[in-house]
Amino acid sequence: MEPTPTILAELDHYMKKEALTVARFAERSGLHSGTLSNILHGHRPIAMQQLDRITMAMQLPEGFFYELYIDNYIIDSQPDWRRISPLLQRCAELGMLEAIRRVIMHLMDNLAYSPLLFNTAEELLEQGYPDAAALLFESVAEGERFQHSERLAFCRFRLFAISLRSGQETTLRAANQFEPYVERLDETDQLDALKQLADVFASLHYWDKVDELAERLKYKASIQYRHSLKRPLQKQPSRLYIYYILYSFLLRSAAAEERGDFETALQYAAMYSNVNWMKSPPSPEEEKVIEQFKEWSTANTYLYRLMSGDVAALPDYIRYIENKENEIFPALYKIIQAANRYRFSVDELLLRFSHYLPYRSQRSRLGEFSEQITSDRYLRFLAELAVYYLERQQPDPGFHYLLESLERSVKIKKDSTIVRCVGIFEQYRYLAAPESSSRYTRLIIEAQNGGKLDDPFVGTDGKMAPPQSIQHL
């Protein structure tokens, strides 16, 4: 069996090949000659910063020796967190996820490393390295799976949050894995957890699940709100308590609307405009939340009337939202949906608001909307727009919007929208030009192959197109 190669042997070989003395290589690498000599003679281990300088002096790529470093100083030696921590940091920066996995595998049997790995994961997530952080969170969760600890629950929460940028299947799996741990979180963290779970299930159209989570959110937020009036909690949730309460009603109105129960949707819309239950005068921050939900309530009241067949509500709806920048696109989506259902023309509206059709970021006075909800709604909007034009025997814009919806759906593996787009295309195939049929076939093959890894919201120029919210969630 051949001995494991070492960084010291590689360095010694290089210095001999280049005829470099310790002093010359120390000068080239920026290390003190005494430090370098001690390293070469094995009197002291190599620190990460020193290893990076040695690698650069040898004109090798960054991270070239990291795999050997793991062998020499972690697996074949007594692990020392002073070496492990900077190694994990540098591997995250260089995207060396397999190296991180090797380190984790060596540490997993020792639960003493769990808090250190957890803290490092939090730091990496904060720095913008979610993939590396996810590996550490997963290792801590696996190591503590029998511990029933809050840290285990928080790892699952973090993994769920990280999964939100992944495809539908990954996100759903993470949501199902995380949900049983919600009750183990700190009570204030439970509010954000339930909201995010509800947003995910709404984007997946699991409306019964949305109802269930919304009810839990209302119950917990109401209790915490009442307790906060008596004795303010040391830890506060990321939003005001009244936000979560009103948002729970908004979720339930959306679920009722999607099921076609517009009477119930209207009842919930009235509930998130009513704050008579508040025990004290609202603060300026609470007033801001209240005003936003009242605005949404008014807009959605017009919307639910329209969606239930009251086409006479359309002019009032347009007048209400036309000067509200953030309300126009959500309104257009639902107006197109109603136009398809009740067969009325909105050509003039589409021309008037044409610059609101592209996918773009939308904010309310309370911040940016959930990306899961907004991307889902945008894909559905494109499909509705396609149906609108195809029903009017206008195949060019119809297939343009349909195939754009299908392409974006394939890339994020949005199965429900893919199925909808396939159904629409087959229904109107007789109108399709050869180039549309060819593009459709290519996208179906791509869907069968699991889609590509490209980001669906990166334009042809390679620049990121910001997300556009579709509905008030």
Domain contains 1 = yes
Same domain as 72, residue 93: no
Comparing CA positions, the residue from 276, 318, 307, 308 lying closest to residue 294 is: 276
Q: Kindly report, residue by residue over 268-292, the tens digit of the pLDDT.
A: 999 999 999 888 889 999 999 999 9
Q: What pLDDT was estimated at residue 128?
A: 94
Which of 165, 185, 205 represents a domain boundary (last residue)?
Answer: 185
Domain contains 418 = no
Average pLDDT of the chain to the nearest whole number: 88
- For the chain, percent helix, then strand, then coil, each to nearest 5? 70, 0, 30
Same domain as 87, residue 180: yes
Domain contains 454 = no
Task: Give the residue numbers spanning the domain of 133.
Answer: 78-185
pTM score, whole prediction: 0.79
Q: What pLDDT was estimated at residue 144?
A: 85
Domain contains 29 = yes
Phi, psi of 364 (to 5 degrees): -110, 180
Instruction: Count Cβ atoms below 10 Å from residue 311 Cβ, excluding itself.
Output: 13
User: What are the angstrom distances between the C-alpha of 299 and each of 260, 268, 323?
Assistant: 17, 13, 12
Same domain as 99, residue 39: no
Which of 185, 211, 239 represents a domain boundary (last residue)?
Answer: 185
Instruction: Count Cβ atoms below 10 Å from residue 356 Cβ, excluding itself.
Output: 17
Domain contains 239 = no
Segment among 199-203, 209-213, 303-307, 380-384 with least mean pLDDT: 199-203
User: What are the angstrom distances between the C-alpha of 326 and each of 186, 309, 356, 368, 376?
Assistant: 34, 24, 10, 10, 17
Q: Kindly report, residue by residue over 82-114, the tens digit of the pLDDT.
A: 999 999 999 999 999 999 999 999 998 788 899
Which of 24, 49, 76 represents a domain boundary (last residue)?
Answer: 76
Domain contains 110 = yes
Same domain as 181, residue 86: yes
Same domain as 124, residue 148: yes
Same domain as 30, residue 13: yes
Domain contains 279 = no
- The whole-angstrom separation of Cα 189 and Cα 181 is 11
Domain contains 54 = yes
Report the length, in residues, of the chain.
473
Q: What is the number of domains present in the chain?
A: 2
- Beta carbons of 288 and 366 less than 8 angstroms apart: yes
pLDDT tier for residue 234 given thresholds of 50, 70 and 90: low
Q: What pLDDT was estimated at residue 358?
A: 81
Q: What pLDDT was estimated at residue 376?
A: 84
Q: What is the mean pLDDT of residues 251-266?
A: 95
Q: What is the CATH number of the domain that holds 56?
A: 1.10.260.40
Q: Kindly report, residue by residue over 9-58, the tens digit of the pLDDT.
A: 999 999 999 999 999 999 999 999 999 999 988 888 899 999 999 999 99
Q: What pLDDT was estimated at residue 152?
A: 92
Same domain as 89, residue 162: yes
Same domain as 5, residue 82: no
User: What are the angstrom distances between the C-alpha of 340 and each of 197, 337, 383?
Assistant: 31, 5, 11
Same domain as 62, residue 3: yes
Same domain as 49, residue 93: no
For residues 373-411, one letter each, b for 16 or more C-beta atoms within 10 angstroms of the residue's C-beta and e for the rest, the string is: bbbbbbbbbbbbbbbbbbeeeebeebbbbbbbbbbbbbb
Phi, psi of 146 (to 5 degrees): -105, 10
Q: What is the mean pLDDT of residues 242-262?
A: 95
Same domain as 31, residue 118: no
Question: Which position has the higher pLDDT, 43 or 207?
Answer: 207
Q: Kindly report, residue by residue over 347-357, the tens digit of the pLDDT.
A: 999 999 998 88
Same domain as 122, residue 45: no
Phi, psi of 62 (to 5 degrees): -55, 140
Q: What is the mean pLDDT of residues 68-81?
A: 89
